[in-house]
Amino acid sequence: MKKIGVLLVDDHTVVRQGLRALLASEEDIEVVGEAENGRQAVMLARKSPPDVVVMDVAMPLLNGLEATRQILKLAPTCKVLVLTSYGDDECVEQLMQAGASGYLIKQTAANDLLKAIREVQRGNAYFSPAIAKRLREQCREAFSNGRTAKKPGELTSREAEVLQLIAEGFSNKQIASELSISIKTVEKHRQQVMNKLNIHDVAGLTRYAIAKGMVERNVPVVAA
């Protein structure tokens, strides 16, 4: 029997250890790798695509949303199962648009994780019960209102990466080094982010990134 290869992605070591211990007793599931941030997850998925990626959202260097986009672009056969403490509607919607197959809230995931991994590996979707209920309600509302949503000012994947690194306190030079692009390109992306969001200082960008779950809530808000 071929086992389901799982990549665990979470910036907290104790969380990854707990997940590994939970999965270790399952005959049909095998942990094939661990990553402590989104960038490391993308690198590991590129090197050896897993069947399922269990993905946190708020992580340093590259958050789960952007990591999901990049992994699924590199390895379309991968399934991403989000496992996070962020359950707000916008976060769920963004991850679904990025291609995630499932979404679990950490506080209620213990009973659902094993079933969720197996379901998304089969090509099905799986959500925490509360999120599934909200999605059904939103679908009904959208259908009855004929609503179509395309948000203005939506950031590109690269712009979102630059925004996260700005919020984490990286200088233009450091961002250029981290992303292997020129400082001039960083400055261009930085200006586009500010223009799209209509936020023109670092403190405001940091607050925005924290509010959107792109970075941890304990990131200090610094002045421009």
As a whole number, mean pLDDT of residues 137-155 equals 58
Q: What's the CA dihedral at 43, 47, 52, 54 to 10 degrees?
A: -20
Confidence tier at 80 by pLDDT (50, 70, 90): very high
Q: Residue 29: its pLDDT value, please? A: 93
Confidence tier at 43 by pLDDT (50, 70, 90): very high
As a whole number, mean pLDDT of residues 145-172 equals 75
Q: Residue 150: its pLDDT value, please? A: 47
Amino acid at 55: M
Q: Is residue 81's pLDDT more than 60?
A: yes
Q: Residue 53: its pLDDT value, please? A: 96
Which residue would you say has higher pLDDT here, 62 or 41?
Answer: 41
Domain ranges of the chain: 4-144, 157-211
Q: Is residue 221's pLDDT more than 70?
A: no
As a whole number, mean pLDDT of residues 176-204 equals 88
As a whole number, mean pLDDT of residues 2-19 equals 93
Going by C-beta distance under 8 Å and a sequence separation of 6 or more, which residues neighbour residue 100? 55, 68, 80, 81, 82
Q: Residue 153: its pLDDT value, please? A: 63
CA angle 88, 53, 48 (to 5 degrees): 150
How do residues 56-66 score in pLDDT, each as one tens digit? 988 888 888 88
The topology (CATH level 3) of 157-211 is Arc Repressor Mutant, subunit A (1.10.10)
User: How far is 84 from 67, CA to CA, in rounded Å?
Assistant: 14
Kindly state the tokens that stand for 7. 């990549």
Q: Residue 217: its pLDDT value, please? A: 57
Burial 80-115 (b: 16+ CB within 10 A, else e): bbbbbebbeeebbebbbebebbbbbbbeebeebbbe
CB of 98 within 8 A of CB of 73? no
Q: Is residue 7's pLDDT more than 90?
A: yes
Instruction: Say whether domain 4-144 belongs to CATH 3.40.50.2300.
Output: yes
Q: Residue 92: its pLDDT value, please? A: 80
As a whole number, mean pLDDT of residues 31-53 equals 94
Confidence tier at 223 by pLDDT (50, 70, 90): very low
First to last CA, the chain: 56
Q: Residue 139: its pLDDT value, please? A: 61
As a whole number, mean pLDDT of residues 61-80 equals 90
